[in-house]
Amino acid sequence: MPELPEVESIKNELLPLIVGRRVSSVTLFWAGIVRLPSVEEFCSRLIGQRLTGVARRGKYLIFSLTSGKALIIHLKMTGSLLLKPASTEPDKFIRAILYLDKEIQLCFRDPRKLGVMWLVEDTNSIVGKLGPEPLEASFTPQILLKRLNNRTAPIKALLCDQTFIAGIGNMYADEALFAARIHPLRSGKSLSQDEAKRLHHSIKRVLLSAIGYKGASVDTYLRPSGELGTAHLQFQVAHRLSGNLCPVCGTLIERIVVRNRGTYFCPQCQPYDNSIYQGV
């Protein structure tokens, strides 16, 4: 958290409100949030710049500037970007503020201090290793099947690997696998052409639905307005507590750990087969 739908929702809500506005000053309450360049250079090179665009790549937000540089933000597990009036007093979890003209401030709120920011000339230096975007037309069932070829890792782990596919995280991987009726421990290469096609469809459907609900507020995620997303209210298996039943067949939802990630699935709808499973 936040994953692709949350970051996409943030981008969509910020775009009409901040593009064209100038950064008048920067306040850092925690210097560790800046990775590149130095804190002093970061602040001085941002001040006076106008924001010319907001884009998303995987789970990264990319703010383009009139200087040609880009401000890249990764919210990590607990970060949010909030738009507030310039007179608003920051709460204890605000780690950085970009003051914009017209009396607004863009606040980076992060209770666990995991989020990071970069100011770079080449965005590929940060996001260049990411896999394909799952919502782009170029990401086809054939591309997914090709990327699964010879992959022995569990499909759940592959979906969470940002170099395999960009933007999908733990909870949306669980939801996509449930919708495709694929067990999370299946090896990537064990999926048939029909299963890969089904999974491709499920990935897109799950992500687009979550964007429609403005992301999932299962933990600390907030939209720029401070409101919650409601995508988690539509979850079928992800984050379902012990004792919850599958909404399709009524079987108890199970939780296992796959590559250190809590994983939720229905053992009836997503059957496990030792003959096709290959190592966790």
pLDDT in tens, 16-34: 999 999 999 999 999 999 9
Domain 4-127: which CATH class?
Answer: alpha beta
Q: How far apart are CA 29 and CA 185, in angstroms?
A: 42
Q: Examine the residue annotation and report whether 2 is marked as an active-site residue of this protein.
A: yes
What pLDDT band is residue 279 in, cutting at 50, 70 and 90? Answer: very low
Q: Examine the residue annotation and report whether 3 is marked as an active-site residue of this protein.
A: yes
Q: So what's the pLDDT on residue 220?
A: 83
Q: State yes or no: pLDDT of 144 exceeds 70.
A: yes
**Burial class (CB within 10 angstroms; exposed 0-12, middle 13-18, buried 19+) of 149:** exposed
Q: Give the residues across from 71 on adjacent strands.
A: 63, 119
* Choice among 76, 133, 261, 267 that is catalytic: 261
Q: What percent of the chain has pLDDT over 70?
A: 97
Going by their DSSP bridges, the two strands 51-57 and 94-100 should be labelled as unpaired
- pLDDT, tens digit (0-9, with 9 covering 90-100), for 155-184: 999 999 999 999 999 999 999 999 999 999
Q: So what's the pLDDT on residue 272?
A: 85
CATH 3.20.190.10 residue ranges for the chain = 4-127
Q: So what's the pLDDT on residue 218?
A: 83
What pLDDT band is residue 240 in, cutting at 50, 70 and 90? Answer: confident
141-265: which CATH topology?
Helicase, Ruva Protein; domain 3 (1.10.8)
Q: So what's the pLDDT on residue 280?
A: 44
CB atoms within 10 A of CB 92: 7
What pLDDT band is residue 274 in, cutting at 50, 70 and 90? Answer: low
CATH 1.10.8.50 residue ranges for the chain = 141-265
* Choice among 56, 57, 59, 95 that is catalytic: 59
Look up the pTM and report it: 0.93
Average pLDDT over residues 134-142: 97
Average pLDDT over residues 48-59: 98
Beta strands in the chain (DSSP E): 23-28, 34-36, 51-57, 60-65, 70-74, 80-85, 94-100, 104-109, 116-120, 254-258, 261-265
Q: Examine the residue annotation and report whether 261 is marked as an active-site residue of this protein.
A: yes
Average pLDDT over residues 253-259: 94
